[in-house]
Amino acid sequence: MNHEIMKEYRLKTVREVEGEAARPELSIFLPVFNEEANIAPLHLKLTRSLEQLGRTYEIIYVDDGSTDKSMAKLRELATHDERVRVIALRRNYGQTAAMSAGIDHARGHVLIPMDADLQNDPADIHRLLEKLDEGYDVVSGWRKDRKDKWLTRRLPSTLANRLISRISGVDLHDYGCTLKAYRRDALTDVKLYGEMHRFIPIYAGWAGARVTEIPVTHHARSAGVSKYGLSRTIKVVFDLITIKFMSSYLTKPLYLFGAAGLVCLIVSLISALLALYYRFFEGVHLNRMPLATLAMIMFAMGVQFIFMGLLAEMIVRTYHESQNKPTYLIRERINLEDDGGKTEL
């Protein structure tokens, strides 16, 4: 019996070693949506740059429900290059979902997302990797000399980037640049929703990753049309509110709801005292004073906020404890045996 167990263990170990050896060093993944004119020249430039690196790699194209001939072009690439892998989504889910699919299917030790519109330059990949080799976990591209329209693209982007940096505490000039390099560990358990692919460096930074950025080349679009406009800015603002809540109050939501409830109760108390003053010293009837109505409304809101905070606390504890989610992450252990990931909440 012990012999069989040891044999199974050795086979499992061999499979794990073989699987690790089969992993490419780099995984480049690109969301694609109606980019048929750009796919062939992009792939040519990309493969030339990657082959000069002397590292093993894979290229993952994620077709995000294209309605042109993009998917046919991708099939042709995959037929002639075994390092090309293609994922076709059932419909257009958006850039974040396509990025998430790329992350989920990437096998490399270093993950590098790019745009498929030829505005990112594949020649910059080696510079990202050199910076990563200095000990960083995330290297973000900064389109310092951006080739986009100033009023509709660059100005909103600049304002949004400053706001995001201020709120998140992760100081980057350009969150919107898709070209980045991540160590695989920095993307562990990352789940993306909404327009949150641009916030991956923030998630990584909160988890203790070392984040930096370098200027990268940005080209003007040579073919096709941009798929994103000012309407995306509104979505980013809402996602930013979510980011702020998750960064500051994910494990202590009562602090937020309780503070809002306390403010409402204070306003209610002040309104009630003023209403009583006018009633007894100025002879004004309560039914003629908006202050009395305001006091009741703010009192009810204050109580509701506090109870919402208590419910949120219960949900957070259920979230962490039911899935054994740790409230902290360890970068390194020295002279300590691995306890199997056990953490204290």
Q: Answer for the pair 102, 113: CB distance below 8 angstroms, yes or no.
A: yes
In angstroms, the CA 223 to CA 146 distance is: 17
Three-point CA angle 251, 138, 170, nearest 5°:
50
Average pLDDT for 276-303: 88
Question: Three-class SS of residue 86?
Answer: strand
Report the DSSP beta bridge partners of residue 28.
59, 112
**Which residues lie below 8 Å from residue 12, measured CB to CB, with a gap of 6+?**
none
Of the pLDDT bands very low, low, confident and very high (cuts 50, 70, 90), residue 14 is very low
In angstroms, the CA 322 to CA 233 distance is: 35
Structure-block tokens of residue 300: 């009810």
Instruction: Choose between 29 and 284: higher pLDDT.
Output: 29
Average pLDDT for 158-182: 86
Pairing state between β 26-32 and 180-183: unpaired
User: How many CA atoms does the CB half-sphere of 113 hold within 13 Å?
Assistant: 31
Phi/psi for 203 (5° steps) reads -55, -45
Q: What is the largest CA-CA distance in the chain?
A: 95
Residue-wise pLDDT for 78-106, tens only, equals 999 999 999 999 888 888 888 988 998 99
Region label for 277, one of left (φ > 0), alpha (ψ between -120 and 50) or beta (otherwise): alpha
Residue-wise pLDDT for 18-75, tens only, equals 455 578 999 999 999 999 999 999 999 999 999 999 999 999 999 999 999 999 999 9
Phi/psi for 327 (5° steps) reads -100, 5
Instruction: Choose between 31 and 341: higher pLDDT.
Output: 31
**What is the predicted pLDDT for the residue at 107?**
94
**What is the predicted pLDDT for the residue at 345?**
35
Structure-block tokens of residue 207: 């988890």
Of the pLDDT bands very low, low, confident and very high (cuts 50, 70, 90), residue 340 is very low
Instruction: Choose between 169 and 113: higher pLDDT.
Output: 113
What secondary structure, in 3-state letters, does 110-138 show? EEEECCCCCCECHHHHHHHHHHHCCCCCE
Q: Answer for the pair 57, 84: CB distance below 8 angstroms, yes or no.
A: no
**Which residues lie below 8 Å from residue 184, measured CB to CB, with a gap of 6+?**
106, 108, 109, 110, 111
Q: Answer for the pair 182, 111: CB distance below 8 angstroms, yes or no.
A: yes
Residue-wise pLDDT for 225-280, tens only, equals 665 555 566 777 777 777 777 777 777 888 889 999 999 999 999 999 999 988 88
Q: Tell the residue number behind the tokens 């962490």, with chain if given.
A: 320
**What is the predicted pLDDT for the residue at 341?**
43
Q: Answer for the pair 274, 266: CB distance below 8 angstroms, yes or no.
A: no
**What is the predicted pLDDT for the residue at 200?**
87
CA 312 to chain centre: 23
Average pLDDT for 273-292: 85
Judged against a pLDDT cut of 70, whether residue 178 lies above it is answered with yes
Of the pLDDT bands very low, low, confident and very high (cuts 50, 70, 90), residue 183 is very high
**Which residues lie below 8 Å from residue 35, measured CB to CB, with a gap of 6+?**
42, 66, 70, 116, 117, 224
Judged against a pLDDT cut of 90, whether residue 189 lies above it is answered with no
In angstroms, the CA 139 to CA 277 distance is: 62
Number of neighbours of residue 222 by Cβ within 10 angstroms: 11
Q: Answer for the pair 86, 39: CB distance below 8 angstroms, yes or no.
A: no
Return the minimum-mean-pLDDT range out of 47-61, 132-146, 150-164, 318-332.
318-332
Return the minimum-mean-pLDDT range out of 161-175, 213-227, 251-265, 294-308.
213-227
Mean confidence (pLDDT) of the chain: 82
In angstroms, the CA 96 to CA 91 distance is: 13
Instruction: Choose between 302 and 322: higher pLDDT.
Output: 302
